[in-house]
Amino acid sequence: MDARRDAPRDAQGEGLLDATPAPVRELDAEALEWGPLLALLGTYAASAVGRAGIGAFAPSRDRAWMERQHQLVEELRLLLNSGAAVRLGGLFDPTATVAKAQIPEAALEAEELLAVARLAQDAAAWQTLVQNPPAGAAIPALGSLGGVSGLADGLSLQPLAEAIERKFALGELVDDASPELARIRSAQLGQQRVIEESLRSALRRLSAQDQTQEELITIRGDRFVIPVKAEQKRRVSGVVHGASSSGQTVYLEPLETIEQNNELVRLLEEEQAEMHRIFVALTRLVAGHAEGLLAGARVLALVDTLQARARFAGDFDCCRPVFWTEESGPGMAMFRLEAARHPLLEKRLRGAGRGIVPFSRDGGRRSLHSFPTRRSSNT
């Protein structure tokens, strides 16, 4: 089942979440404090996507949709109460990222690839959770969402996450991201040692002639250089690569080191080319999982709103409403409140260290459903 059938569209209209079906148009949202209520509920969301989805909630006349929403929230509460951890820290809207990935020869940036990996990990973790729920947690409705993240190509997103993550450490490509990159970086280290030995030899020679400012090897641009007293620069063969702020020191590349530095620059250019090739290859991999990533993000976006509702329900001791049916019989009131409370009022009173007096009312045949209320009339 497509998660988009079960959720509201986010505030930006990016398509991760669908609009509420059959919304109630005759609604005095201001009198009901609907906006502040959604803002309170949004504080329970784990992501900006979830908060945006909650902010677009509207009352609905679609009874089947409402029943399903309550079923999903009830099952999410069951998962949370069983100690299950729902991973949503990597949730974001990947629409723009996967669109970029599908451009021929495009290369996503490292942070974009790592964001995709985190999203894929979270989608895979959700899939694993609903396929192997905690003992005693019956979650058939949530289970129907669990496989969506892999529908696009029949594959889990876990391999995609692992393929990206093993290429990086601390946000940078690791040396063994490819055999060629490992070779190039090893050659760079060797070439740096050759250059440093050459420069140390030059430093010892120039220091003996009192021509160096200090015995220090530094880098200007991509070139290894040594500091030379400004008044001595014409006596030393080499290329000057700038001066200190005081002007007393120039940074000089000795003549015998120029070719060695040139080789190092060539290796640096090779490294950049190989890194770009790796990024392009990973981007193609992301493009191949585009539909799965979007489907997984849609599921997690819905789960984020469900988890927010479940946690809100736990904090405010809410219960699932009972919907009236013809089979309920004539004695069943169509609108009945039992120990009902306004959550915003309750929150304000809690903040003041005060309790709330619940409200009960049998309103007769005035509506098609009852509202969630406290299970107990005691406060």
Same domain membership, residue 54 and residue 19: yes
Contact 286, 113 (CB under 8 A): yes
Tally of structural domains, the chain: 3
The predicted pLDDT at position 4 comes to: 45
What are 80-135's pLDDT values in tens digits?
999 999 999 999 999 999 999 999 999 999 999 999 999 999 999 998 898 889 98
Is 113 found in the same domain as 85? Answer: yes
Q: What percent of the chain has pLDDT above 90?
A: 61
pLDDT score of 378 more than 50: no
Whether residue 8 is found in the same domain as residue 151: yes
Q: Say if residues 286 and 101 touch (Cβ distance below 8 Å).
A: yes
Query: pLDDT grade, residue 326 (50/70/90)?
Result: low
Helical pair 158-165 and 110-131, crossing angle rounded to 10 deg: 140
Joined tokens for residue 3: 């998660």
Q: Predicted confidence band at 328 (pLDDT cuts at 50, 70, 90)?
A: low
Using alpha carbons, select from 340, 297, 343, 307 the residue that is nearest to residue 54. 307
- In sequence order, what are the beta bridge partners of 350? none
Domain contains 168? no
Q: Which residue has the higher pLDDT, 209 or 41?
A: 41
Asked if residue 10 and residue 149 are part of one domain, the reply reads: yes
From 86-90, 103-107, 177-181, 323-327, the region with the lowest mean pLDDT = 323-327
Tell me, yes or no, whether 100 and 189 share the same domain: no
| Cross-strand bridge partners of residue 254 | 238
Query: Given a cut of 60, is residue 311 above it in pLDDT?
Result: yes
Confidence band, pLDDT 50/70/90 cuts, at residue 369: very low
Q: Are both 147 and 215 inside the same structural domain? A: no
Mark 244-275 as b/e (b = at least 16 C-beta within 10 Å).
eeeeebbbbbbeebeebbeebeebeebbeebb
Question: Can you give the pTM of this predicted structure?
Answer: 0.84
Residue-level pLDDT at 104: 95
CATH number reported for the structural domain that contains residue 275 in this entry: 1.10.1420.10
CB 158 within 8 A of CB 122: no
**Which of 14-18, 32-36, 52-56, 241-245 has the lowest average pLDDT?**
14-18
Is a pLDDT exceeding 80 seen at residue 208? Answer: no
Residues 323 and 311 in one domain: no
Which range has the worst mean pLDDT, 33-42, 146-155, 172-181, 359-368? 146-155
Give the tokens for residue 61: 């006349």
By the 10 Å C-beta count (0-12 exposed, 13-18 middle, 19+ buried), 65 is classed as middle
Tokens at 220, concatenated: 């200007």
Question: Same domain, yes or no, for 263 and 226?
Answer: yes
CA 311 to chain centre: 21
What is the span of the domain harbouring residue 341?
318-379
Instruction: Tell me, rounded to whole angstroms, the distance of Cα 243 from its chain centroid.
Output: 45
Q: What is the pLDDT of residue 150?
A: 40
